[in-house]
């Protein structure tokens, strides 16, 4: 069954181009290591919540935009091996390619796909 890695973060709005540049490079690396698709979404209609919301979850500041992204893998075994290789890839090392956002506020999780309609 397919496997998804999902991500939500707050990116300084002024860093949109830098984020997209990094995302394109990361997508290339993930796909070289077995991912079938990488999707990056820039927040456009992300309402503020009273109890919970994307913005609250990542502690979005006024000058930031919420991103929502995912990596599709054919299965968890491919994901485990591909993610390990991707994280070891020199092109994705913070010293070479620093994140254009606060990684401490990145929300991440791996998910087994249970329905695709």
Decide if 76 is inside a domain: yes
In-domain check, residue 68: yes
What is the model's pLDDT at position 1? 86
pLDDT along the chain (117 residues), means of 10: 97 98 97 98 96 97 98 98 97 92 96 96
* CATH code where residue 62 lies: 3.30.70.100
Domain range for 90 is 3-112
CA 33 to CA 105: how far, in whole Å?
Answer: 26
Res 41: pLDDT:
98
In a domain, 52, yes or no: yes
Cβ proximity of 27 and 19 under 8 Å: no
Q: How far apart are CA 7 and CA 20, in angstroms?
A: 15
The structure's pTM equals 0.94
Q: Which two tokens stand for residue 55?
A: 């913005």
> Is residue 117 one of the residues assigned to a domain?
no
Q: How many domains does the chain have?
A: 1
Task: Report pLDDT for 102.
Answer: 95
pLDDT at residue 9 in the model: 98
């Amino acid at each position: 069954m397919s496997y998804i890695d999902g991500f939500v973060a707050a990116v300084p709005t002024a860093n949109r181009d830098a984020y997209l540049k990094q995302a394109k490079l990361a997508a290339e690396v993930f796909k070289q290591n077995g991912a079938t698709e990488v999707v990056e979404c820039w927040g456009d209609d992300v309402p503020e919540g009273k109890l919970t919301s994307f913005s609250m979850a990542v502690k979005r500041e006024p000058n930031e935009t919420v991103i929502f992204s995912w990596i599709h893998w054919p299965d968890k075994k491919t994901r485990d091996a591909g993610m390990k290789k991707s994280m070891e890839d020199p092109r994705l090392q913070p010293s070479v390619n620093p994140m254009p956002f606060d990684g401490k506020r990145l929300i991440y999780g791996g998910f087994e796909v249970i329905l695709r309609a």
